[in-house]
Amino acid sequence: MHSQQDLVRDCLHGDPRAQRALYDTYAEVMLGVCCRYIRSQADAEDVLQEAFVRVFTRLGQYRGSGELGGWIRRIVVHSALNFLKRPSRVHEPLSFAEEGPEPVSDLDPVPDLEAKELAALIRSLPAGFRTVFNLYAIEGYSHAEIAELMNIRETTSRSQYLRARAALAEMIRRHHAATSQKQSP
């Protein structure tokens, strides 16, 4: 088993087995990251491949000070965002509403949701909501960082996040109500 440093060194020396090991180690998790941003499985797989091309071409820039997976994740997230910014008739457009935030209920819809069900609900959010929600709630970016990444105002990022939370809470409530009805005699 390669250590992280050995794996990077061997990849930089062009060892195809090390490159394959690096890809095999991170591809499944990073595909999940792509799928959080991009609805189409085929597009998510394409973005993953583009991201790994960037990983291998920029691997010399990795300094080893942090976790390799975190460094790769940042490249994957940026690749997904770049995909969403491209004009295309195939994928949904990435747009942001500039209105102020809508109030979010303090009620916590705590239904029995599986992780896959929650992920599917997040994926069904509109692209702008989904992107900001993922960047803020899952990836841990600040609203200032999101604003810079997406070339939007910080208030727009906050608004999109609050709207995404409200929409997600409503979808969870509907899901819970539908599930409760099916289980009732």
Q: Where are the domains of the chain?
A: 4-85, 115-183
pLDDT at 89 over 70: no
Dihedral over alpha carbons 43, 45, 49, 50 (to 10 degrees): 20
Residue count of the chain? 185
pLDDT at residue 100, rounded to an integer: 44
pLDDT at 86 over 90: no
Q: What is the architecture, at CATH level 2, of domain 4-85? A: Orthogonal Bundle (1.10)
- If you average pLDDT over residues 81-85, what whole number do you get? 91
Which tokens hold the place of 84? 């969403």
Neighbours of 138 (CB within 10 A): 13
Who wins on pLDDT, 182 or 66?
Answer: 66
Contact 27, 50 (CB under 8 A): no
Buried b (16+ CB within 10 A) or exposed e, 144-166: eebbebbebeeebbbbbbbbbbb
Given the candidates 3.40.50.450, 1.10.150.120, 3.30.1300.10, 1.10.10.10, the CATH classification of the domain at 115-183 is 1.10.10.10
pTM for the whole thing?
0.75
pLDDT at residue 179, rounded to an integer: 75
Q: How far is 158 from 149, CA to CA, in rounded Å?
A: 14
C-alpha to C-alpha distances, 99 to 132, 135, 138, 145, 156, nearest whole angstrom: 15, 20, 24, 20, 8
Mean pLDDT, all residues of the chain = 84
pLDDT at residue 175, rounded to an integer: 81
